[in-house]
Amino acid sequence: MKIVNRFLLCSSVFQLIIFKSILKKRFEENVIFNDYVIINNRNTIDSAKDLIINYSNILSIKKVFDLRDIVPNENVLYKNNKYKTIKSLIKNRVLIHYIKKIKNIIYSEVNTIDEVYYRLNFNLNDLIIINSLISHPKFFIIEDGMGDYFTFKHKSVNIYEFKNYLSNNLKKYFAKFILTYLSQFKIIYPKPLSHFTNLPFKKNISVGKEFRIVIEEIINKKNISKISDKEIILILGAPLLSDVSRYNFDIEQEINMYNKLFNKIKYEHKINDKNIYYKHHPRLSLRNWKIKKDKLLCNVLPYERLEMAEVELLINNVIHVYSVSSTTLIYSKKIFGVEGTLIDLTKYKLHKSHFLRTKTLFQDFEVNVLEI
């Protein structure tokens, strides 16, 4: 019987669910599938890693490779003493060292790698992992959130966007230059066979139906308590507001914004503030969670409750969901039958182009918009 080994480059539990959704779509009879997950993003914190492992066990993932401490720190490669770092990369072939080390780890477990699933906006560490998979597998792109739905119409021309575009592309060309020419290594740039997204988009293959089925499987196999037996409003926190240097929006401003929102919610939905719940993003620090717990005028879910927002939509009687940018808003009505509203922050002195294109994108998917 044919054996197919499939690998996911993973930085979040959302990607894991998308991965398993795709595999349901691509099921073949008379084939033994072995599914593996590689966690290779240094920004994936331990609690998020633990949730990935927990869900992987439920979803019959054969093994999870935690390579966060194996892959290089991009901040070191690009920001700290650039010229010295580049010289070191050239002289010592640092990246090739990482590739060889990763090869040894992965190929100690498997003989061949047949398929690799990765995000559209891959980074240097993703590229290093891809170049560690020497058996030339088939490549597939998975959705990584709302960024997969942006088109040219959502772009804006400003100095920040230009610098970000230039930086990202220079990193990729820099990696190719080091890996290919200076290290005498033929780099593999993946050529995907398909691009999968939850919702129909361009020529992508939609897996929204399978996405919901996978989440239902997790709920059936895992004892997850309800937030409440009553009708509730769910507020989904976002990681982007935690970067004060980038968005000029500190936690006190964020709390004031949310408290204004709660007043509008109570008036709009005729609901008690005890039935409004704030769910933090997994990357929120415990320190900031405690501040929000103390100052937000609603219920704040426990810090250790890290279940996906989509899980909460299915096990609770959620009548409406709000967020400043969560991708869940795009799916909430189309996949889960729950109305969603984007909190419009374009009038704040933040990263205006980001929030403007986010607003335009969500409106394209018929998501409600509320200005605070």
CATH number of the domain within which 355 lies: 3.40.50
184 shares its domain with 324: no
CB 243 within 8 A of CB 354: no
281 shares its domain with 172: no
Structural domain of 29 = 2-212
What's the total number of domains in the chain? 2
> Of 212, 240, 262, which residue constitutes the final position of a domain?
212
Does 142 fall in a domain? yes
The residue assigned the tokens 């980074």 is: 123
Spatial neighbors of 109 by CB under 8 A, at least 6 apart, are: 36, 63, 65
Instruction: Return mean pLDDT, the chain.
Output: 85
289 shares its domain with 148: no
So what's the pLDDT on residue 35?
97
Pure H helices in the chain: 13-25, 46-58, 74-78, 82-92, 94-107, 124-130, 159-176, 208-221, 244-247, 251-269, 286-295, 309-315, 328-332, 352-364
CB-CB neighbours of 207 under 10 Å: 26
12 shares its domain with 112: yes
Does 218 fall in a domain? no
So what's the pLDDT on residue 172?
59
CB 352 within 8 A of CB 157: no
Q: How far apart (Å, rounded) are the C-alpha atoms in residues 151 and 292? A: 35
> Of 161, 188, 212, which residue constitutes the final position of a domain?
212
Does 217 fall in a domain? no
Distance, CA of 352 to chain centre = 22
Q: Which of 68, 63, 136 is nearest to 102 (CA)?
A: 68
178 shares its domain with 42: yes
So what's the pLDDT on residue 158?
56
18 shares its domain with 71: yes
208 shares its domain with 237: no
Does 204 fall in a domain? yes
Which token pair is 257? 């914004």
Which token pair is 161? 């966007």
Give me the phi and psi of 200, to 5 degrees please: -60, 130
235 shares its domain with 352: yes
Does 38 fall in a domain? yes
Q: What is the pLDDT of residues 82-116, one digit of tens each?
A: 444 454 454 445 667 788 889 999 999 998 999 99
237 shares its domain with 298: yes
Q: What is the pLDDT of residues 237-284, one digit of tens each?
A: 986 655 555 566 788 989 999 999 999 999 999 999 899 999 999 888
Q: What is the pLDDT of residues 19-48, one digit of tens each?
A: 999 999 988 888 999 999 999 998 898 989
186 shares its domain with 232: no
SS3 content of the chain, % helix, strand, coil (to 5): 45, 15, 35
Q: How far apart (Å, rounded) are the C-alpha atoms in residues 300 and 290? A: 10
Give me the phi and psi of 152, to 5 degrees please: -60, -35
| Residue 143 confidence class, pLDDT cut points 50, 70, 90 | very high
So what's the pLDDT on residue 128?
83
183 shares its domain with 71: yes
Q: What is the pLDDT of residues 156-171, one digit of tens each?
A: 655 555 565 566 666 6
Q: How far apart (Å, rounded) are the C-alpha atoms in residues 228 and 170? A: 49
Does 324 fall in a domain? yes
Q: What is the pLDDT of residues 192-224, one digit of tens each?
A: 999 999 999 999 999 999 999 999 999 999 989
Does 341 fall in a domain? yes
> Of 164, 184, 212, which residue constitutes the final position of a domain?
212
Which token pair is 279? 């769910």
Give me the phi and psi of 323, to 5 degrees please: -165, 160
241 shares its domain with 179: no
